[in-house]
Structure formats: structure tokens, C-alpha cells
Amino acid sequence: MESFNIGLGNNDNETRKLANSDYVHFWDEQAKNLSWFSPWQKTLEWTPPFAKWFVGGKINASYNALDIHQSTRSKKPAIMWEGENGESRVITYADMWTQVQKLANSLKSLGVKKGDRVTIYLPMIPELPISMLACSRIGATHTVIFSGFSASSIRDRVEDSKSKIIITADGGYRRGSIVPLKEVIDEAISGLNFVKNVIVFERTKTKIQLNDKDVLWNDLLKEASDTCTPEHLESSHPLFILYTSGTTGKPKGVLHGTGGYLTHLYSTFKWAFDIKDSDIFFCTADIGWVTGHSYVVYAPLLHGATEVMYEGAPDFPDASRIWDIIQKYHVTIFYTTPTSLRMFIKFGDDIPNSFDLSSIRLLGTVGEPINPEVWKWYYSVIGKEKCPIIDTWWQTETGGMLISALPGLETIPLKPGSGTLPIPGISMSVVDENGTDLPPNTKGYLIIKNPWPGMLLTLWGDDTKYKNVYWSKFKNCYYPGDFAIRDDDGYFWLLGRADDVLKVAGHRIGTAELESCIVSHSDVSESAVCGIPDDVKGEVIISFVVLKESSSKPHDSLREEIVSKIRNEIGAIATPKQIYFVSKLPKTRSGKIMRRLLKSIASNDQIGDISTLEDGAAVSEVQSAFDDLKNSIQEKK
Ligand code: ATP
Ligand code: MG
């Protein structure tokens, strides 16, 4: 397997040694990097499957994100914000601190108390992190809902969390038009009497109707004092509820605590990004997803870092927007998703090549397996063959990264398509159906053998589901639901969701293996494969393919080329029964391919929960590609 000998860092083997000898003591040491109001009495209370970290310790997230920087970095930009319409704002650590305290006092004045839930439905503007930190300052649990969600999705989540207060905006910009967020909220909460107030930030200054419950952000903050003592909260005090992306089914309400979660973020941000005071960090994730919570809001602020925050769509007004932002702000660390990278590849290399990207020193990816071909493109076209790429595997439930190369800690060879090794303090394995460790190079289920500080507390209001989903398949081990392989060097390769595994003629093939092979064809930009029932073979593979804009070959010859590639690189058993060319794939709002939807369409099954789907048009697109082919096959007969 091809490997790249690049990395930064200083090979701090002591950290790994300490972690391997006693992970509880190891995390105890890491937690000391944060500021605590009172020390903990017990590092870990583990009553499987419930973990409490740093029991008895008192802490506050907003204090660690803001107060501790005031004597050294008050004038340093915390956020350099770029609006979709070209506006920009710089918010220093001092500005953030003032705004957070004012809003925290305002929330108190509206009757919000420690333990109450507050729903936040805001676009990517600085008021979103400010709202989260204001909640955490007074011990309210925030629940952020991605600002693209519909009224009914919001209603479900608000009813589930029983939020007293909603924070929203008059509107948000998306691809040049204004999304009427306040109107959506009005519809979502109509008749929900437990919602006491709606705080409205005026982002677009569009005319909105104000109801009895509504208060304008500016009016509220005008009256508020700018000093608010942070609550001293128990380490496992619930910091937030966040619903998963819904790639595999109905979203789950993941509940995270405070001290453990922050310890995990502080450590991984330092190890993975090798963060320096002079860095300009840019993560493209929306704060509505966990990557935004952990690595846009909490981790960079804990470190007093400066980051770029972008409000809009990555291809608005055109496909050069992200490269333009990197050039403008001299971004040094760039963290994005394989989906975005595949989109950039589709538009061609000339676009990034016409920008000065030389400030970048480190690249990261998260969210899906990264195809080796896409990895190499990222490495050469964006990183100019000088920047390490960290492929970070984690989930909403894990709170922070669990597998990643760690340039801030050690230099190890990178292999395109592998996340490399688990972070220190984490014991992971690949096992068979019975939970037995598999030898290297054998496909199986990824499991985690010990609790870790960023681990979810439970699923909100549903301990039973928490136990069933994550802890019942393998005894006393956490089951993430992913399919993986570990190679001879102990590197982990994520092969896709365990539920999506293709079973053909007794072989098990991860979706990522086959998709990566298809994507490595020079005309292809994206691909999704799934298995559907077949009378004769039990299951057959079908594949959906999106072509690059530059592709002009006839579909029939492309089909032949793709099939012969698969036969050569994987084997004849992996040959799809059908290859459908489509212009988009169904994806979740967080950018992940929804294979379960392809499968239902292709098998004529009921389509389940699609509330987190990005674009309804993708479903009909796939459906019609499928129907067309079925018809033409029938005609040929
Ligand atoms: P749901 O649980 O509702 O189906 P989801 O799993 O897509 O939604 P997230 O928590 O956002 O919600 O995604 C976590 C999943 O994303 C992981 O379980 C894994 O399948 C995938 N993933 C994340 N990062 C990587 C990565 N670097 N390599 C491979 N897969 C990844
Ligand atoms: Mg999941």
C-alpha cells in the first residue's frame, strides 16, 4: 500500500506510553489542561454502559472558551466571519466575552435556569456560537438545529427536548436568497405552550411579524449587564443535545456532558491540528452538526485560536468561493468533508490552481471514508504535496475524533484512505459477529473497548435505546455501526456502514471499497453502491455514478470501462448488475450519501425518514434513472 512519509510533531512516545499503561490516569492528566473551579474526586465512574468523567469536579465551558483568554488574548480575533454576500466581521475574544455575558443575563431575565433546554435555530453567524456559550455559561443545555430544517423537523426536536426558549433570526442567506427562519419557527412551535419566548436576531433586516412571545435580540441585550458569573457545573452536567445526521435512519438525540467532552476536544485539537497561536483555522462544517459543535465552537476557543467562519454555500456565487476565502484570510489549517472535495474535483483543477493556497500547512477530512483518489487530489492540488492530511474518524456520539493521524504528537507515514491509528487512550478493534478479535486484513465490525471522555452520556430521554443501539451487539463494548479492516501496521480502514455491507456469493464488500474503485475512473466524480435482493443470487450490487463536468464519453463505453476496472481491481464478484448515471446522489444535509434511500428505491421499498435529506430532487433523479433503465431493458427483451 502506498504511503506518504509526512507529518509534523515530535514523536512524543511518552504520551502513547502513558495512555497504554493506564487510560484512566492518562485522561486524568489531560483534564488538567482545562480550568476547573474545583477538582474532581474520581476520574471515572464506569457503570457500564454509563460513564461519568471527573466526578465531583466543577467546570464551565464558556469560562474555558473565553474568560481564561482575557488577560492574554482579549484583542485577538476569535472569529473572522465571512458573510455569503461578501460582508465580513471580526469578533475578538473580548467582544465574544461581552456578548456572551449579555445574552446569558438576558436568558436569565427570561427565566432560563440551570438544566433548562434552549433551542438554537440560527444560520452560520457569530451569534450562533455566542448563543451556545451563553447557554453553557448559565448551565442551560443547548440544542442546535441546522438552519436548513423544515418546520416539522424542528417541531419534533423542540417537543422532544421541551425547550423553553428558541433563539432564531429574521432570516438567513443561502445561495443568494433569504430563508425565512422566523416564519419557519412560528409554524414549528404553533400551539407548543411550553415555549415561553423566541429571541430573534436581525440578520437580514427583512420585515417579520412579531408575536407575543417574540423579543428582538438587540432590544434584549441593550438592557443587559455585561458581567455574568459562570455557573460552577458538575463535570457531567449536560452541555448539549444534538441529533445525528440521519444517514441510517431516524436521527438520535445524543446527549453530551461538559468536563469529559471538553477534555477530549482540547486534547484532540492539540494533537491532530498541532495548533499554534499564529494559526488561522478554517473548518467548513455547519455548526448544526457535531463537527461544528466540537471543532468550530468548543475546541478552537478552548485553545484561544483564530478561525474563519463562513456563512453560506461553498459554491456560491461560484465554485471558487472556498479557495478565495483561504487566500483572503491566509488560512493555515483547512478541515472539510470528502463530499465537498468530490464536488471541488467535479469542477476541475483550474479553479483552485488560480488561487494562492500557500498559507495552508495542514489538511483534514471528516464525515465519510475518503476515497484514496480523492485523498491524492487533496494532497497534490490543494496541499501542493507539502501538507499532511488527517483523515479523522468519529461520530456525533463520540464527541470528538477517535481515529486520526496526530501531527501535533507524532510523525507516522500516512496512507491515502486510512484514518491511521486510534488516538491515545482509546482501545479499538475489528471483530467478527461473536465479538472475537479478527486477524489483520480481515473485514469486520469496528468496536471500542473502553469508555473515553468525549463519549455521549446517553440518548436524550431514552436510556434503553442508548443501551440497545450501542452496547447490546458486543458485550461491554461500544458498537459504532461501522465496518472496517485493520492492516498489518495496525492502521484502520473504514469501509462504510455495517448495515450497508454488500454480501455477494459469500463475500462481504464494504461500500467504500467499491465506490473508491469507481471514483478512481478519471471521468467519475462520485459514486454510491448498494445491494438489492435478487431471486437467483440472493443479493446483487447496483451502482449510481455522477460524472465530472468535463466528461464527454458515451455512457455505454463508460459502463464497460468501469466494469473492467472493478474486475481488475476488486474482482468479478464485485461487478454491479447495473450502473446508473445520475447528476446527483441523495445526501443528508451534512453531506453524507444516503445509501438506504437508493436501496429502497431500487428494491421498491417504502422510503423511511427523509427529513434530513438535502435535496428532494435527488430522490426523483435517482428514481427516474432507475425507471429509464428498467424500461430500456424491458424494450430490449
Ligand atoms: P445516523 O447515526 O443518524 O445514521 P450519521 O451516522 O451519519 O447519522 P454522524 O454522527 O454525523 O451521523 O456521522 C458519523 C458516521 O460518519 C460514522 O459512524 C462513520 O460512518 C462516518 N464517518 C465519519 N468520519 C469518517 C471517516 N473519517 N472515515 C470514514 N467514515 C467516517
Ligand atoms: Mg451514526
Contacts of 513 (CB under 8 A, 6+ apart): 495, 496, 570, 574
Judge if 326 and 381 occupy the same domain.
yes
**Least distant ligand from the CA of 480:** 1
Range of the domain at 169: 4-484
From residue 17, alpha-carbon distances to 25, 26, 414, 464 in Å are 12, 9, 21, 36
Degrees, nearest 5: CA angle 262-268-270: 100
Pocket test for ligand 1, best of 144, 247, 363, 445 (most atoms within 8 A of CB): 247
pLDDT at 625 over 80: no
Phi and psi dihedrals of 534, rounded to 5? -140, 135
- Residue 252 CA, closest ligand 1 atom number: 3
User: Where does ligand 1 bind, in terms of residues with CB under 6 Å?
Assistant: 244-249, 251-252, 289-290, 366-369, 391-396, 419, 480-482, 494, 497, 590, 592
Q: Per-residue pLDDT tens for 486-514?
A: 999 999 999 999 999 999 888 899 999 99
Average pLDDT over residues 39-54: 98
Residue 496 in domain: no
DSSP state of 499: G
- Residue 254 CA, closest ligand 1 atom number: 10
Residue 72's pLDDT is what?
A: 98
Q: Which of 430, 456, 484 is the last residue of a domain?
A: 484
What predicted TM-score, i.e. pTM, was given to this entire model? 0.95
Instruction: Output the domain CATH number for residue 279.
Output: 3.40.50.12780
Task: Tell me the pLDDT band of 12, cut-offs 50, 70 and 90.
Answer: low
Produce one character per residue of 534-570: b if its CB has 16 or more CB atoms within 10 Å, e if not. eeeeeebbbbbbbbbeebeeeeeebbeebbeebeeeb
Average pLDDT over residues 609-636: 71
Residue 507 in domain: no
Residue 354 in domain: yes
DSSP state of 379: I
Cell of residue 250, nine digits = 431516524
Average pLDDT over residues 557-585: 94
Residue 602 in domain: yes
Alpha helices in 66-212 (DSSP H): 70-73, 93-109, 127-138, 151-161, 181-188
Residue 626's pLDDT is what?
A: 73
Residue 361 in domain: yes
Average pLDDT over residues 61-76: 98
pLDDT at 9 over 70: no
Residue 495 in domain: no
pLDDT at 612 over 80: no
Task: Tell me the pLDDT band of 117, cut-offs 50, 70 and 90.
Answer: very high
* Residue carrying the nine cell digits 482501545: 427
Judge if 224 and 103 occupy the same domain.
yes
Residue 537's pLDDT is what?
A: 81
Indicate the pairing of strand 214-216 with strand 197-201. parallel
Distance 277 CA to ligand 1 centre (A): 30
Judge if 548 and 474 occupy the same domain.
no
Domain count for the chain: 2
Judge if 423 and 536 occupy the same domain.
no
Judge if 459 and 556 occupy the same domain.
no
Instruction: Output the domain CATH number for residue 620.
Output: 3.30.300.30
pLDDT at 330 over 70: yes
Distance 508 CA to ligand 2 centre (A): 21
Judge contact between 478 and 452, C-beta under 8 A. no
Distance 396 CA to ligand 2 centre (A): 7
